[in-house]
Amino acid sequence: MPATELPPAETPVETVWKIVVNVPLWGQFDYRPADGTSVSPADIGKRVRVPFGRGGHERIGLITAIGPAGVEQVLPATLLDTEAPLLPGELLESLVWLHRYTVSPLGETVWQALPKPMRDGDPATLEPVAMLTTTGDPATLRGGKYKSALESLLTQGVLPESEARERHTGAVVNELLRRDLVRLEPVSISERLALADAAGRRWRDEPEHPLHRLQLTQQQHDAVHAIAADPDAYHGWLLEGVTGSGKTEVYLRLIAQTLAAGRQALILVPEIGLTPQTLQRFEQRLGVPVDAYHSGLSDKDRAQVWLRARAGLARVIVGTRSAAFLPLPNPGLFIVDEEHDGSFKQFDGIRYNARDFLVQRGHRVGRPIVLGSATPSLESLHNAQSGRYGLLRLTERAHGGATHPQMHIVDMRGVPLEAGLSPVVLKAIQVHLERGEQVLVFRNRRGYAPVLLCHDCGWSAQCQQCDAPMTVHRQGRRLQCHHCGASCTAPPACPDCGGLALHPQGIGTERLEEFLSERFADLAPVVRIDRGSTRTRDGLQQRLASVGDGAGLLIGTQMLAKGHHLPNLTLVVVVGADEGLFSTDFRAGERLAQQLIQVAGRAGRADKPGVVLIQTHHPDHLLLQRLLAADYDAVAQTELDERSKASWPPFVALALIRAEGRHVADVREFLQSVANAFGPYPNVMVMGPLPAPMPKRAGYLREQLLLQADSRADLHFALQRVIPTVYGAPLARKVRWSLDVDPYDLY
């Protein structure tokens, strides 16, 4: 045999970095250290700078594993994190789980978890911290704002500079610095950890600590006791407590115990629940700094909270959905408040459920997780019934004297209405306002009216880009599509028949505001709260504050439906509940019941009893009757039975593949090819391709494929084999598509 045909000598396969980047591609990529050093398991979780793709453009990557090279030509990469990995092991492992569960590329999954500056390759360094000097003399200070800034710094010990500037304004901080009362100097991490530990133990040692001011009720006490019994092991708890039953107080006690053990507590709250009021309550009662993590922060501030959590410095973090991705070296407790809330589910990108992800993390690290709600999701109730979660109940309102609100149905049939309100309701509003109390009119439709209709020919204003009517705004002067954002001036005459009889149809919050301010302005301030009137968290707070403690009339969407504690609110009126009664969505009943009970829960939270009036054309509807007769549990149980019979979650596993494009044929062809790929998996039922419930949106034509299986394992088995091939499929390039495992709705 000629020498050239000899098999090549066994060269050992090179061990390389397995790297992911933020691209919609399946798989990991091989790189070797540019400086010629060898790879090490300690590199996992570190970021690198890599040449990527055809142009060899530089990108940031993250090392997720090391292993034998799978390609011949391994390109060099440069380490960005030269010390500790950016992503600690537990979080990375949890993200790998999430990538498998959502069947999404690992790179995109990892990137979803990072704050923007970390995605862009910024160094993972904590900013300097403002610290008090002991030399300055507070007595020389004039002006309340300096004093209160100094006092708050004194109680907190140390405060990150950016946070000090945000809370007390840059000018105040500069002045304190100038007078040498505050010094900006780096405090070592170990010093800061020691300070946090000391603060965490204070409540146990100080009888005067704010946490001791409330005596827990027996039910609260039992709940705390059960959850705290084993702080070193995973246990899932469903805390089902009626509105105003003091769930937050239970959380606070558990968080305090977690702090005393020197551990971190992470609390997820719904998007609209994270108000300055909530944060203040946590800080005041716990007596330690509380970090907030939400989309209202600047990228830089978000990154700093993320890094503080990663360093173990942030001990209590209250955050919205994305806070589920905070690295926690020393976790002690996870809490998801209002666990049923839809905002924990991400609707684009990686469609994860933050609640379920946290349960997974609790499991991995062996720590308790508490899911709290007055109206638990059917999934969680089912888990409690099947023994996966422990169930704890708070059945009474905690505040002495507060009772459950009285619910009544107001039959609207054949009754003259003004702005959609019946005489009974208008009378009740008047009575409560005259008593100097507050009233909430709940209508989950912002704008003036949902439709603009021509009374002569029946024409109505439709969005050009969507299969949806335009919502009327500003007393009928503007039209706006709530799906794609398109907006225009309302036509002066009907575009079809030229008639002038254009009438706004139906009732939105703006129209309620117009009518109610005219009727009741002399009795009380009338304030509307919805996304149109109130864009920021602070704005919401200000508008609520503008009502004061006396008589007041609030008109609001679901922004007001939960989380707020208005002691003088005694009447809640629900307008337009009927729309939820006949929806085809499998979750509609559950959602309506949750919404009604949550909004009803705003009434009578202090000493005065609360009344709830639900206007309806269907007073005999079973769901409403059950809500009146019994509690949420009864409604939930019937809904669960129906879901079981009709094969809906949580009794089956669902996944939805959505696709949209400019041409419906492309969309259909793509989805058909995906449907065919499920052929070898008979345990997965494939429904579609079918037009989406809204077949056209923002100019795109939308179809979908619904996948259903009795067993989650079967569904995942098939998805994990089919979906990676879809990423490489040519047909996929002509459409925008996404996979949603456990879809929240089928839209």
Ligand X SMILES: Nc1ncnc2c1ncn2[C@@H]1O[C@H](COP(=O)(O)OP(=O)(O)OP(=O)(O)O)[C@@H](O)[C@H]1O
CA nearest neighbour of 106 among 744, 736, 686, 723: 723
Cβ 402 to ligand X shortest distance, Å: 7
Which spans in 435-526 are helix H?
Answer: 509-520
Is residue 438 within 8 A of residue 525, CB to CB? The reply is: no
Near ligand X by CB under 6 A: residue from 246, 532, 556, 604: 246
Cβ 243 to ligand X shortest distance, Å: 3
Near Zn ion by CB under 5 A: residue from 165, 483, 565, 734: 483
Burial class (CB in 10 A: 0-12, 13-18, 19+), 721: middle
Binding track over 387-426 against ligand X, x by CB under 6 A: -----------xxx--------------------------
Q: How far apart are CA 482 and CA 504, in angstroms?
A: 16
Binding track over 547-566 against ligand X, x by CB under 6 A: ----------------x-x-
Please tell me whether residue 243 binds ligand X under the rule CB under 6 A. Answer: yes
Q: How far apart are CA 59 and CA 73, in angstroms?
A: 18
CB atoms within 10 A of CB 16: 24
484 is in an annotated binding site: yes
Q: How far apart are CA 401 and CA 654, in angstroms?
A: 45
Binding track over 563-582 against ligand X, x by CB under 6 A: x-x-----------------
Is residue 165 within 8 A of residue 128, CB to CB? The reply is: no
Near Zn ion by CB under 5 A: residue from 75, 226, 484, 690: 484
Cβ 704 to Zn ion shortest distance, Å: 19
Joined together, the tokens standing for residue 700 give 């795109």
CA nearest neighbour of 379 among 339, 417, 332: 339
Is residue 39 within 8 A of residue 17, CB to CB? The reply is: yes
463 binds, among Zn ion, ligand X, none (CB under 5 to 8 A by kind): Zn ion
Is residue 122 within 8 A of residue 303, CB to CB? The reply is: yes
Classify the C-alpha dihedral 308-314-320-324 as positive or negative: positive
Query: Rounded to 10 degrees, what is the CA torsion of 686, 691, 692, 697?
Result: 150
Binding track over 584-603 against ligand X, x by CB under 6 A: -----------------x--
Binding track over 205-234 against ligand X, x by CB under 6 A: ---------xxxx--x--------------
Nearer to ligand X, 156 or 594 (CB): 594
Near Zn ion by CB under 5 A: residue from 465, 517, 541, 673: 465
Pairing of strands 235-241, 182-184: unpaired
244 binds, among ligand X, Zn ion, none (CB under 5 to 8 A by kind): ligand X
Contacts of 589 (CB under 8 A, 6+ apart): 580, 623, 635, 639, 642
Near Zn ion by CB under 5 A: residue from 463, 490, 674, 684: 463
Q: How far apart are CA 251 and CA 258, in angstroms?
A: 10
Nearer to Zn ion, 87 or 481 (CB): 481
CA nearest neighbour of 268 among 190, 147, 362: 362
Task: Tell me which long-range contacts 188-191 makes (C-beta under 8 A, separation of at least 24).
Answer: 189/126, 189/311, 189/313
CA nearest neighbour of 359 among 270, 265, 235: 235
CA nearest neighbour of 238 among 135, 365, 118, 386: 386
563 binds, among Zn ion, ligand X, none (CB under 5 to 8 A by kind): ligand X
487 binds, among Zn ion, ligand X, none (CB under 5 to 8 A by kind): none
393 binds, among ligand X, Zn ion, none (CB under 5 to 8 A by kind): none
The residue count for binding ligand X (CB under 6 A) is 20
454 is in an annotated binding site: yes
Joined together, the tokens standing for residue 115 give 């704050």
Burial class (CB in 10 A: 0-12, 13-18, 19+), 183: middle
Cβ 152 to ligand X shortest distance, Å: 22
Cβ 186 to ligand X shortest distance, Å: 38
488 is in an annotated binding site: no
531 binds, among Zn ion, ligand X, none (CB under 5 to 8 A by kind): none
246 binds, among ligand X, Zn ion, none (CB under 5 to 8 A by kind): ligand X
465 binds, among Zn ion, ligand X, none (CB under 5 to 8 A by kind): Zn ion
374 binds, among Zn ion, ligand X, none (CB under 5 to 8 A by kind): ligand X
Joined together, the tokens standing for residue 330 give 């020393």
Please tell me whether residue 179 binds Zn ion under the rule CB under 5 A. Answer: no
Joined together, the tokens standing for residue 545 give 């504050």
Contacts of 132 (CB under 8 A, 6+ apart): 150, 153, 154, 157, 181, 182, 183
541 binds, among Zn ion, ligand X, none (CB under 5 to 8 A by kind): none
Near ligand X by CB under 6 A: residue from 245, 383, 615, 708: 245
Please tell me whether residue 604 binds ligand X under the rule CB under 6 A. Answer: no
User: Hunting for tokens 């704050």 — which residue is that?
Assistant: 115
The residue count for binding Zn ion (CB under 5 A) is 7
Task: Report the interface residues with Zn ion, using CB under 5 A.
Answer: 463, 465-466, 481, 483-484, 486
Which residue ranges make up the annotated binding site for Zn(2+)? 454, 457, 463, 466, 481, 484, 494, 497
Task: Report the interface residues with ligand X, using CB under 6 A.
Answer: 214-217, 220, 241, 243-249, 374, 398-400, 563, 565, 601
